[in-house]
Amino acid sequence: MSTTTDGRSARWEAHRQERRKTLVESAIRTIRTRGASVGMDEIASEAGTSKTVFYRHFSDRHGLYQAVADRVDELILRDIGTVLGKTTQGGGLGTLDLDPGSVIRAAIDAYLQLVERDPELYRFIVSAPIVGAEKSGNAAQAVASATGKMAGQISDLIAGALVDRGNDPAPARLWGQSLVGLVRAGADAWLAGLAGDFTREELSEQLSNLAWSGIKIAWKQSSD
């Protein structure tokens, strides 16, 4: 393969990635304005293109959903980094030399920030109505995959902070995964108006205290 062909391939790949990014951002804007149950026709129309173009870049509705979920995952991790003061170039997180309690509080608050700031986007991620329109069962599978990835990344952050202080990595990751389940349940109840009149800050404090109280007990037991 010639150098010219390699250069063209690289430019095409860069263009394709940029186009995917643009389409994802457009889809997110449409979800925010039209709601979580928005359909592909509306998403394509708002992007000024066709469903065929979206399917060319994402294969199907599931592919678009996953791309939006990946972007939301990035936003949550960015917000965690902002709370911790550990943002790095590109929006990722550097090495966290912080106590586990601070990481837990940051993760919880970042998750709730998304719910408060983008309720329709959050509903889109945790219910995946656009995927459910294809086949029965697809939505649940897609949601499990997307939220599982988010839980895994947050779990790794928390586990890292715990392991750095001498804890066994296996239960530390279990605690991290369980924490995300706790926060999601609290966030869903809050969004549905079933959690009283808590502000986001108050709910974050309540969930952080609950989570850290349990982890502290397990931590002491595992360290004995």
Cα(99)–Cα(216) distance, integer angstroms: 12
C-beta atoms surrounding 17 within 10 Å: 11
**pLDDT for the residue 219:** 59
| Cα 116 to Cα 112: distance, rounded to the nearest angstrom | 6
pTM of the model: 0.79
pLDDT of residue 220: 53
Task: Return the domain boundaries, the chain.
Answer: 61-223
pLDDT of residue 1: 52
Low-confidence residues in the chain, pLDDT < 70: 1-6, 85-98, 133-138, 165, 167, 169, 172, 218-224
SS3 168: coil
CA dihedral 24, 28, 34, 39 (to 10 degrees): 40
Give the three-class secondary structure for 38.
coil
CATH number for the region 61-223 comes to: 1.10.357.10
For 87, the 3-state DSSP assignment is: strand
Do residues 80 and 107 make contact, with C-beta atoms less than 8 angstroms apart? yes
pLDDT at 64: 94
Could you report the per-residue pLDDT of 111-129, keeping only the tens digit for each?
Answer: 898 899 999 999 999 888 8
HEC string for 82-100 = HHHCCECCCCCECCCCCCH
